[in-house]
Amino acid sequence: MMKKKLKSMLLGVMLVASLCLQACGGSPAEDTPTATPTPAFSFDEPAATETPAPTEAPAATATPVPTEAPVATEAPVATEAPQATATPEPTKAPEGPATLPVDLTSRVSVWGQGTGTDNADGSVTFAGGTIDKCSFLLPSTLKANDKIDVTVKLKFDSADDAGVRFYLTDDSFNNCAVEVITVANTGAEVTETITLQAAQDVNAILLAASAYGVQIQNVTLCSMTISGDAVKAPATPSVPVDSGDWLTTWATTEEKCNLSGPTDSAMPKKALEGTTIRQIIRVTAGGSQIRFRLSNQFGESDVEINAMHVAKQSPDALADGKGYGNAKVHMSSIVTSTDTPVTVNGQASFVIPKGEVILTDPINLAVDGLDNIAVSMFFGKAPKTNITGHRGARATTYQIDGNKVSDEKLATAQTTTAWYFLADCSVVCPGGKAIVVFGDSIIDGYGTDASYLGKKPDSYTRCTDYLAKRLQANEATKNVSILNEGLGSNSILGMYPTLSGRQRFSRDVLEHDNVEYVIILFGVNDIGKVTDTSLYSKLIPEYEKMVKTCHDNNLKVFAAPILPFGTSSYYTAAAEELRTMINDWMRSDASGFDGVIDFDKAVADPANPINIQYKYTKSDGLHPYEGYSAMADCVDLSIFTK
């Protein structure tokens, strides 16, 4: 009787355990909480009402440990199945020549001509007798004597064209083919395969009119493919693993650049399409990976980046530290062993949509604080006006025809001193903290490249440059970066040259990684030349909104009282009175600032504090050309370790 009861109990336990196991196996997987989406940047001024701190995403509940399955009763030994014969591994098909389509959208203008019209079916039409050459980029470079078979599908829409010619070309659009091949006009659609051989290194196929001095009248290129032993598919870039802990290490203020007005000096020397731009930035803290935030905020059309690479600038390019470089090394030179492609969503070519900001993939390039980084972009289609950039780079940017993103130097490039489409750069720096310095031309570094004082671009002598050097030299602050968000001619209230200070404050402070501190030196362009102090009642509420925005986002914000300008054209008795009223308020507890960084006292003339010391400002009276280091030296670095 006991044996029967025990057997019944065991069977019951096994049944319950089996049902539990089935129930556990059939339960739905726990939903992973999604992150709260980041709101898009708005031009609206900060609301006066308190912004609630973002609530944390709910923590996921722990996954229950599965209950142990009951021990199964021993199954009867199965009769041995007949041994299967080993399935032979499939033999690999011999790798034949690759056949690849040529991207018809990757065409480059030759000598400033048009590049045809894109059709809905992917074809390109050349019409109107305005184009005699157009270049199509190859997926990879061909070496001298390499041969490729090119299959083209063409439709001649009129009898005006005798045919079209094809040959291989380089970045300078030279004829680099052993033979030029002509495809004759058959009066209809024609598909023909031609063989082209490279006479030297080439990177594109050039389509040309039937003869020199003749223009294409009405031809549609429907498709183009290449094949042959020399054809190699471009390597698919692997996206590095994002290790997190991002810290913005460099940033600039984006503005709308045009061919006329205050930003005309920022414009590229020629249209961006078909050219490489190499820009130099200096990171202010180091890390094991980097990534970029690219902005087309003011663009009226998309920006096509056909290739983007990043590398360290040659350490000899700025050997004297004053922007004069080393005669043995061109200042555009890079350390080629550090040259690294940049991708977006794993793609080596990508688009920055009009009006938008995008983030690149992480890049496996380790950098140290104060390294100079060369950012090289090869452009497809790009806007010719309303270019998103920054005219006050005070660093040389190089522009040259063709894809030269990996070239060691761009010795024949044309130059500007502006940045294009770069919003910021971040590095992986666990425990890192960023300082944003927000202001006008004084923060932007006006005068550090003043030629009449013997200064040149690339000197890195802004206030923020000197402060970055101090932070990196101090062991306790080596993981603290400094971001320059100064903009020349800008004011808090006025929309000149693009956005007012109050409009751009949230963007320039909050859209960076791991910002913890903000310094505000701003307002001189609002108060200069005033005839009364009535602006006080308009400016103080704007400062208060900035303080509130910082505190709502758990940032410490420091006031930097407005510098004196007694010997400049900005000076009036009312302007000086208004400056004193604002500075007294900033230094008071009523302002709400977390502290004061007194750049004012660092550069003021002790004998006459309404003036900047002459040794700092020379005849300018407003900008402390030689006083930026004195401003940086007055900062107590310990405030950035608390």
CATH number for 312: 2.60.120
User: Residue 506: which H helix or E strand, with range?
Assistant: helix 501-510
Which domain, by its residues, includes 437? 431-642
Closest by Cα among 303, 248, 312 to 280 = 312
Place of tokens 């300008």: 565
Same domain, 264 and 397: yes
CB atoms within 10 A of CB 475: 7
State the distance between the two ends of the chain, measured CA to CA, in whole angstroms: 77
Tell me the mean pLDDT in the region 101-124: 85
Same domain, 161 and 250: no
Place of tokens 């600039």: 252
Residue 205 burial (C-beta neighbours within 10 Å; 0-12, 13-18, 19+): buried
Tell me the mean pLDDT in the region 257-266: 87
pLDDT of 129 strictly over 50: yes
How are beta strands 290-295 and 414-416 bridged, if at all? Answer: unpaired
Query: d(Cα 78, Cα 89) in Å, to the nearest integer?
Result: 29
pLDDT digit string, tens, across residues 49-65: 333 343 333 333 333 33
Would 93 be classed as within a structural domain?
Answer: no
Q: What is the largest CA-CA distance in the chain?
A: 113
pLDDT band of residue 322 (cuts 50, 70, 90) is low
* DSSP-assigned beta bridge partners for residue 427: 247, 290
Would 86 be classed as within a structural domain?
Answer: no
Would 358 be classed as within a structural domain?
Answer: yes
pLDDT digit string, tens, across residues 480-496: 999 999 999 999 999 88
Would 46 be classed as within a structural domain?
Answer: no
Tell me the mean pLDDT in the region 540-563: 98
pLDDT of residue 321: 62
> Helix (H, G, I), strand (E, B), or coil: what is residue 424?
strand
Counting residues of the chain whose pLDDT is more than 70, the rounded percentage is: 83
pLDDT of 358 strictly over 90: yes
Would 10 be classed as within a structural domain?
Answer: no
pLDDT digit string, tens, across residues 150-208: 999 999 988 888 999 999 998 778 999 999 999 999 887 999 999 999 999 998 999 99
pLDDT of 41 strictly over 70: no
Region of poorest pLDDT, from 35-49, 78-92, 514-528, 617-631: 35-49
Same domain, 258 and 174: no
Cis peptide before 497 (omega within 30 of 0): yes
Same domain, 527 and 560: yes
Residue 213 belongs to domain with CATH number: 2.60.120.200
Place of tokens 């490039």: 413
Cα angle value 487/490/493 (rounded, 5°): 140
pLDDT of residue 48: 36
Same domain, 424 and 438: no
Same domain, 522 and 630: yes
Same domain, 288 and 408: yes
pLDDT band of residue 97 (cuts 50, 70, 90) is low
Same domain, 364 and 442: no
Same domain, 514 and 584: yes
Average pLDDT taken over every residue of the chain:
85
Tell me the mean pLDDT in the region 371-394: 96
Tell me the mean pLDDT in the region 380-409: 95
Between 37 and 392, the more confident residue is 392
Counting residues of the chain whose pLDDT is more than 90, the rounded percentage is: 69
Closest by Cα among 375, 370, 379, 367 to 341 = 375
Region of poorest pLDDT, from 104-108, 123-127, 196-200, 553-557: 104-108
The domain tally of the chain equals 3
> How many C-alpha atoms does 573 have within 13 Å on its Cβ side?
0
pLDDT digit string, tens, across residues 267-288: 999 999 999 999 999 999 999 9
Between 63 and 642, the more confident residue is 642
Which residues, in sequence order, are CB contacts of 173 under 8 Å at separation 6+?
A: 110, 111, 133, 135, 206
Would 435 be classed as within a structural domain?
Answer: yes
Tell me the mean pLDDT in the region 542-564: 98
Between 456 and 45, the more confident residue is 456
* DSSP-assigned beta bridge partners for residue 599: none
Same domain, 528 and 450: yes
Tell me the mean pLDDT in the region 213-239: 84
CB 247 within 8 A of CB 367: no
Residue 213: left (phi > 0), alpha (psi -120 to 50), or beta? left
Residue 238 burial (C-beta neighbours within 10 Å; 0-12, 13-18, 19+): exposed
Tokens describing residue 498:
């693009």
Query: d(Cα 278, Cα 393) in Å, to the nearest integer?
Result: 13
Same domain, 510 and 637: yes
Place of tokens 């083919």: 177
> How many C-alpha atoms does 600 have within 13 Å on its Cβ side?
27
The dihedral through the CA atoms of 229, 230, 231, 233 has a sign that is: positive
CB atoms within 10 A of CB 313: 23
pLDDT of residue 497: 82
pLDDT of residue 3: 38
pLDDT of residue 235: 62
Residue 615 belongs to domain with CATH number: 3.40.50.1110
Domain boundary among 228, 254, 281: 228
Cα angle value 234/239/241 (rounded, 5°): 160
pLDDT band of residue 503 (cuts 50, 70, 90) is very high
pLDDT digit string, tens, across residues 245-258: 999 999 999 999 99
Would 289 be classed as within a structural domain?
Answer: yes
CB 194 within 8 A of CB 177: no
The percent of the chain in helix, strand and coil, each rounded to the nearest 5, is 20, 30, 50
pLDDT digit string, tens, across residues 610-634: 999 999 999 999 999 999 999 999 9
pLDDT of residue 260: 83
pLDDT of 230 strictly over 90: no
pLDDT of 66 strictly over 50: no
Between 91 and 631, the more confident residue is 631
User: Residue 612: which H helix or E strand, with range?
Assistant: strand 608-612
DSSP secondary structure of 178-222: SS-EEEE--SSEEEEEEEEEBSS-EEEEEEEESSTT--EEEEEEE
CB atoms within 10 A of CB 214: 15
Q: Amino acid identity, residue 76?
A: P
Domain boundary among 173, 197, 228: 228
Would 51 be classed as within a structural domain?
Answer: no
Same domain, 134 and 164: yes
Helix axes of 536-552 and 573-587: crossing angle, nearest 10 degrees = 30
pLDDT band of residue 319 (cuts 50, 70, 90) is confident
Q: What is the pTM of this model?
A: 0.71
Domain boundary among 410, 429, 448: 429
Tell me the mean pLDDT in the region 128-149: 89
Which residues, in sequence order, are CB contacts of 638 under 8 Å at separation 6+?
A: 476
